[in-house]
Amino acid sequence: QVQLQESGPGLVKPSETLSLTCTVSGGSISSYYWSWIRQPAGKGLEWIGRIYTSGTTNYNPSLKSRVTMSVDTSKNQFSLKLSSVTAADTAVYYCARGVYGGNSEYFQHWGQGTLVTVSS
């Protein structure tokens, strides 16, 4: 059973860059789409973007200018960088594996989530 685990600083200062890593275990990272999704406290889910193991990326248009994703297949990890953060970026950040096909994509495997707070 594939498992995902987010890791990274829980506190980031305003204007700095948020960096998170998702480690995949119980299966290979290859040949799948991997996404980052976030959820501010008491609010809904927001898709940040996805990366394929080839390195191809797609980002949420509303965040595209600040997001960079990368993948390291040798470590079975993929990463998120979100630049110029503000308090509005405070949220629980989830990594998830996308199942892509037909006319959409869904997320069957999720990490437990990690809270990132933006504050000075």
Partner 1 sequence: QSVLTQPPSVSGAPGQRVTISCTGSSSNIGAGYDVHWYQQLPGTAPKLLIYYNSNRPSGVPDRFSGSKSGTSASLAITGLQAEDEADYYCQSYDISLSGPHVVFGGGTKLTVL
**Residues at the interface with partner 1 (CB under 8 A):** 35, 44-47, 50, 58-61, 64, 94, 99, 102-108, 110-113
Q: Which residues contact 9 (CB under 8 A, 6 or more apart)?
A: 18, 19, 116
CB of 88 to partner 1, least distance (A): 15
From the list 18, 19, 14, the residue with the least C-alpha distance to 120 is 14
Q: Which is nearer to partner 1, 53 or 113 (CB)?
A: 113
CA angle (43 as vertex; 68, 79 as ends), nearest 5: 20
CB of 118 to partner 1, least distance (A): 21
Q: Residue 70 is inside which H or E element, if any?
A: strand 67-72
CB of 16 to partner 1, least distance (A): 26
Q: Which is nearer to partner 1, 21 or 58 (CB)?
A: 58
Q: Which is nearer to partner 1, 16 or 23 (CB)?
A: 23
Q: Which is nearer to partner 1, 16 or 60 (CB)?
A: 60
Q: What is the C-alpha radius of gyration for the chain, rounded to an integer number of angstroms? A: 14
